[in-house]
Amino acid sequence: MKFLLVCAALCLINSLCMADGQKDIDMAKQSDVYAGKTSDVKITYIGHGSLMIENNGKVYHIDPWSNMGDYSKLPKADVILVTHEHFDHYDKALIKQLSKEDTKIITTATVAEDYGKTANLTVLANGEDTVVDGVKVEAVPSYNIKHLRDGKNPFHPKGRGNGYILNIDGLRIYAAGDTENVPELKKLEKINIAFLPFNLPYTMDKEMFEDLAYNIQAEYLYPYHTMSTDQKAIESLVVPFGTIRIRKFQK
């Protein structure tokens, strides 16, 4: 019940923000372009856990959420990836809005149960992978050990949610979803770009973030899912490997 009340409060806060004209994101300032082996890969941080990746005319949306911006101004998806079923990651109406006739959806069993299985929907469990239009997508664990709801159950139980690694033109791009620095993730290799969550009580604190960053040694690290995290805490992150890139939660 406490979790549901918190979720409701967050929804109300976001609604109020949008009412004040805060819905639009300055996409130019939120985007970075990385050189793949043969082409550029553009990554746009839309807000919270929502990302968009563009490469060779293909558009990948990860955890699109309508509260994060005006998606009518963004291209529709060739591929949509959903990490888990919580409202700030799984926006069913927006997924339908962003979908074309041949849009492929990659998600978890729990999301698929609600969304409805279709020919273009692929369910991945932790440790499984698939290839979509030549891009390998790996599903990795995403869960809590330490942070518990009401001191009893994890906010994100093991095996229920996914993080995703997209292998695009030689770049390994990792979107962690809602997770802590669990043991399986510390073994990830050759990550070029990583989006790691940093907020309590649902994901990682500063020490967890820095520990996971130390272990995966990504070239570029983005703190994301930072809705309730103090900006000074984000700016104080220190990692011995890679470059931290901080993006705005909302304009």
| 17-33 confidence digits (pLDDT tens) | 333 333 455 555 689 99
Q: What pLDDT is recorded for position 11? A: 43
Task: List the one residue out of 65, 75, 1, 42 whose CA is nearest residue 171.
Answer: 42
Determine phi and psi for 143, rounding to 5 degrees: -160, 170
Which range (81-85, 107-111, 180-184, 228-232) has the least confidence? 228-232
- In the chain, what percentage of residues exceed pLDDT 90? 66
With beta carbons less than 8 A apart as the criterion, state whether 10 and 227 touch.
yes
Residue 196 contacts by C-beta under 8 Å, 6 or more apart in sequence? Answer: 176, 204, 209, 212, 213, 221, 222, 223, 224
Tokens of 221: 């690290």
* Cα 77–Cα 162–Cα 226 angle in degrees, nearest 5: 80
* Residue 139 in this model has a pLDDT that exceeds 80: yes
3-state secondary structure of 118: coil
* Residue 51 in this model has a pLDDT that exceeds 90: yes
Q: What pLDDT is recorded for position 65? A: 95
> What average pLDDT score do residues 220-245 get?
83
Q: What pLDDT is recorded for position 251? A: 36
| DSSP secondary structure, 121-167, as one string | EEE--TT-EEEETTEEEEEEEE--SS-EETTTEESS-TTTEEEEEEE
Tokens of 139: 């599903």
Residues in the chain: 251
Q: What pLDDT is recorded for position 24? A: 54
With beta carbons less than 8 A apart as the criterion, state whether 80 and 99 touch.
yes
Q: Is 63 exposed, middle or buried, given 0-12, 13-18 or 19+ CB atoms closer than 10 A?
A: buried
Which domains are seen in the chain, by residue range?
A: 25-244 (3.60.15.10)
* Residue 150 in this model has a pLDDT that exceeds 90: no
246 compared with 211, residue with greater pLDDT: 211
Q: Residue type at 25?
A: I
* Residue 173 in this model has a pLDDT that exceeds 70: yes
The label of the residue with tokens 């962003």 reads 98
pLDDT band for position 64 (50/70/90)?
very high
Q: What pLDDT is recorded for position 235? A: 80
> What average pLDDT score do residues 237-246 get?
84
Eight-class DSSP state of 236? T
- In the chain, what percentage of residues exceed pLDDT 70? 87
Q: What pLDDT is recorded for position 14? A: 40
Eight-class DSSP state of 50? E
Which range (114-128, 138-152, 201-215) has the least confidence? 138-152
Task: List the one residue out of 226, 184, 186 whose CA is nearest residue 210.
Answer: 186
Q: What pLDDT is recorded for position 200? A: 79
Mean pLDDT of the chain: 86
Q: HSE of 57 in the Cβ direction (CA atoms, 13 Å)? A: 1
pLDDT band for position 242 (50/70/90)?
confident
